[in-house]
Amino acid sequence: MELRNLRNAAVREMDAARSGSFVFLVSTLALLCGAGCGAPGEPTPPSPPVPVAITDLTAHQAGDGVQLIFTLPLKTVTGDRLASPPAVEVIRGMPKADGSPDAKSFRVVYTIPGALAENYVVESQVKFIDPVAPAETRAHPGGLLVYVVRTSASKKRASANSNAVSVRMYPVAEGIASLQARVTETAMELSWTAPTRTSGGDPLSGFSGYRIYRGELDPATAEASSTDLSKAKWKSPLALLSGADESAYSDTLFDFGRTYAYIVRSVVLVEGNPLESRDSNSAIVTPRDTFPPAAPQNLVVAALSGASPGSVLADLSWSINLETDLAGYRVYRSEEQDTRGALLMPDLLLAPAYRDTSVEPGHRYWYSVTAVDRAGNESDRSATVAVDVAKPSP
């Protein structure tokens, strides 16, 4: 009996030990799982970048279209920098009767891919023209259009709409399609045919003149730009050069060797405001200086005694040329009346005078002079002047 009691006590102690070890193990596992073994769940996808909304949108009529100007966003709504330019959606709509934008009328009329957005950037701002059919403007002169733009850096989410802007559209003159340019020594002579109708086909009224624009191109892109100025690489973009009342203009502020692009726009006045037509065809010109100076005038030649006893020389002088690009003069001498003869010195003379010390007594010489400009163009010869070199007196 006593032995049985001792055995039962031993069993109870072993069960208690096992129970304590299990509780300890479970507690330890619970602590470990609580520290780093959360329940598995679905991974949270990264949020797509959303550009900040554009706030500086402006618009005005430009020929048969509306030019929109705005700044591309550089950051997202969370303050992160955009990795690349976002795509742009141009949205056009109509106003309600009270003049407020009618959200139901808005439609995306054009999308600029992000990879092409930089092609529309001029002086740090996007400049885009949304064309409007002349027939639509003709049917609703003074009609109001409302615009907003938005951008997107991914296909999932776009930015909020920009500020809304509105533009009234009026008929303008038809575009000039006959602009011509001719190079002269002192000017680029532009001429074109005067328009007689609006772009919608109605008789032209309110005509106010012309505006001439000029830009300088990279010569490497001149050929590609001749039919499409959007392919141009500008050294300086198109800028207003002058106004004109007639269908011709002389540009005297040019330099030979540079490549210029010209366009002309007709101007009409609508309610006192000037409105330009669309661009004319472009005239792209690289003027070359092929114009020689005028022939020197008033050549005088005299035979004189030289510095040493028994020596003689021919002294030449003539009137100075007035060309601003004059580089110098060349003197020719011949012993035959109707031939130019030999050039007397390899370098250009900078002054209108020369002394020929290589003459010989008892000979007759014929002299002529030419002028040379900085482009290497040489003038015709001056009038030929003869001189007899007598033997010096004893």
| Contacts by 93-100, CB closer than 8 A, 24 or more apart | 93/145, 93/146, 93/147, 93/148, 94/144, 94/145, 94/146, 95/144, 95/146, 95/166, 99/144
61 and 142 Cβ atoms separated by less than 8 Å: no
Structure tokens, 296: 């020197």
Nearest by Cα to 126 from 135, 134, 139, 116: 116
pLDDT, tens digit (0-9, with 9 covering 90-100), for 227-265: 677 777 889 989 999 999 999 999 999 999 999 999 999
pLDDT for 227 equals: 67
The average pLDDT across 80-108 equals 91
Write down the residue that tokens 């309600």 correspond to: 96
Helix (H) or strand (E) holding 301: strand 300-305
Nearest by Cα to 376 from 322, 326, 339: 326
pLDDT for 30 equals: 44
pLDDT at 45 over 70: no
pLDDT, tens digit (0-9, with 9 covering 90-100), for 123-173: 899 999 999 999 999 999 999 999 999 999 988 899 999 999 999 999 999
pLDDT for 327 equals: 97
DSSP code of 362? T
Where is pLDDT greater, at 372 or 157?
A: 372
Determine the distance from the C-alpha atom of residue 232 to the mean position of all C-alpha atoms in its chain, rounded to a whole number.
7
pLDDT for 333 equals: 98
Query: To the nearest whole number, what is the mean pLDDT of the chain?
Result: 88
Write down the residue that tokens 């999308």 correspond to: 111
pLDDT for 390 equals: 84
Q: CA distances (Å), 122 to each of 37, 118, 126, 340, in order? A: 56, 9, 6, 57
The average pLDDT across 206-210 equals 95
Which of 81-85, 120-124, 226-230, 311-315 is the least confident region?
226-230
pLDDT at 20 over 80: no
Nearest by Cα to 251 from 212, 220, 295: 212
Tell me the H-state helices in 123-275: 134-139, 222-225
pLDDT at 225 over 80: no
Where is pLDDT greater, at 276 or 29?
A: 276
Q: Which residues of 350-367 are buried (b: 16+ CB within 10 A; e: fewer)?
A: eebebebeebeeeeebbb
- Tell me the sheet residues that pair with 275: 268
Q: CA distances (Å), 157 to each of 150, 152, 284, in order? A: 11, 7, 44
262 and 222 Cβ atoms separated by less than 8 Å: no
- Other CB atoms within a 10 A radius of the CB of residue 258 amount to 14
pLDDT for 304 equals: 92
Write down the residue that tokens 């850096």 correspond to: 153
Where is pLDDT greater, at 287 or 11?
A: 287
The average pLDDT across 326-351 equals 96
pLDDT, tens digit (0-9, with 9 covering 90-100), for 179-188: 999 999 999 9
pLDDT for 384 equals: 97
| Count of positions (residues) in the chain | 394
- How far is Cα 59 from Cα 72, in angstroms, rounded to an integer? 15
pLDDT for 308 equals: 83
pLDDT for 221 equals: 76
- How far is Cα 293 from Cα 64, in angstroms, rounded to an integer? 47
The average pLDDT across 285-305 equals 95
Tell me the H-state helices in 129-278: 134-139, 222-225
